[in-house]
A and B are shown apart, each in its own frame.
Chain A
Amino acid sequence: GAGVSQSPSNKVTEKGKDVELRCDPISGHTALYWYRQRLGQGLEFLIYFQGNSAPDKSGLPSDRFSAERTGESVSTLTIQRTQQEDSAVYLCASSLLSYNEQFFGPGTRLTVL
């Protein structure tokens, strides 16, 4: 079946612009995660959605970052007034239940000039 998809695959933007990143999880997966991975570094947890519960936003680095999820389907991560330090690969993952193995999308590579 279809895996996790993310769009766009690459995004180049100018400092100060807003960007929106999209994640389509595997159908039926109740949990959805966003991570940031800077070049050569590990996974930085950003936000976690589980079913209809309030999302865990504890990893969002600033109020310029926000995310939404429509039910148990698509999620969007929005970064407002982008800064150069936001440049990274943004990964989305979904899992059937919160504690199951995660399936990762290919990521969106964001470059802020």
Chain B
Amino acid sequence: AQSVTQLGSHVSVSEGALVLLRCNYSSSVPPYLFWYVQYPNQGLQLLLKYTTGATLVKGINGFEAEFKKSETSFHLTKPSAHMSDAAEYFCAVSERGGGFKTIFGAGTRLFVKA
């Protein structure tokens, strides 16, 4: 069975600092991996996804994530945080093949300090 663990329910960084949000998954087959973002008082939207091919994927607003099969991780990074990055971030995993649902992590709230 698939599962997702996001380490740290809250992460605080200073503006301009590196953002690192951690996500580990378990899956019996190669997964599809996603990061979604929820800005304050807004709906969830896709930030980036990994399906096949290059393991380093780039998303919107300068975020990127790297699929590391050996570590079963899909950590989200951004070199320099902006105040506008303050939001809730959710990692999600789907197992390949029809009939498998997507599982979301518990979320990590990112705070950006001026």
Contact = CB atoms under 8 A, between A and B. Distances in A.
Contacts of B102: 33, 95, 98-99, 102
A106 B43 contact: yes
A78 to B, nearest CB: 21
Given A42-B90, A104-B43, A104-B45, A98 B107 contact: no
Interface residues of B, number: 25
Interface string B72-114: 0000000000000000101010111111111111110000000
B34 A101 contact: yes
A98 B99 CA distance: 6
Q: State the main secondary structure of chain B at its contact with A.
A: strand
Contacts of A105: 43
Q: State the main secondary structure of chain A at its contact with B.
A: loop
A42 B106 CA distance: 5
Interface of A: 31, 33, 35, 41-43, 45, 48, 50, 53, 56, 91, 93, 95, 97-102, 104-107
